[in-house]
Amino acid sequence: MIVYRLEDKFGTGVFQGRWFALPGPPPGRHPTPVDEFGDTDWGSRHCGFKSIHQLRRWFNKAQREVITTHGIRLRSYECDPADVLIGKFQIMFTKKSAVKVDCLSPNAI
């Protein structure tokens, strides 16, 4: 299964310890992982998206342009489906067992 994640060159996610001034509606309008998956044992899971379409529902074009200027990249990973929790708005996957497939600018989608 291919999943997508916005992260910097160190693999840190877009919402981990930073916030960008983004144009348009705030990405915070979406549920947190706790809202969507409950009080789960996260272990080594990381947030991401099941599709480019799902990512676009979180970040519009102008927002993707801003995060790109801050060094955020769109990475795709191949995962075992058993290592992925799929929600309506986002996914959580076990990154340590995933294989990096590609890296793109968020502007490219």
Domain range annotation of the chain: 2-17+42-108
Model's pTM, two decimal places? 0.87
pLDDT tens per residue across span 79-94: 999 999 999 899 999 9
Neighbour count for residue 103 (Cβ, 10 Å): 11
Query: Distance between terminal CA atoms of the chain?
Result: 19
pLDDT tens per residue across span 61-82: 988 998 899 899 999 999 999 9
Q: Predicted confidence band at 24 (pLDDT cuts at 50, 70, 90)?
A: low
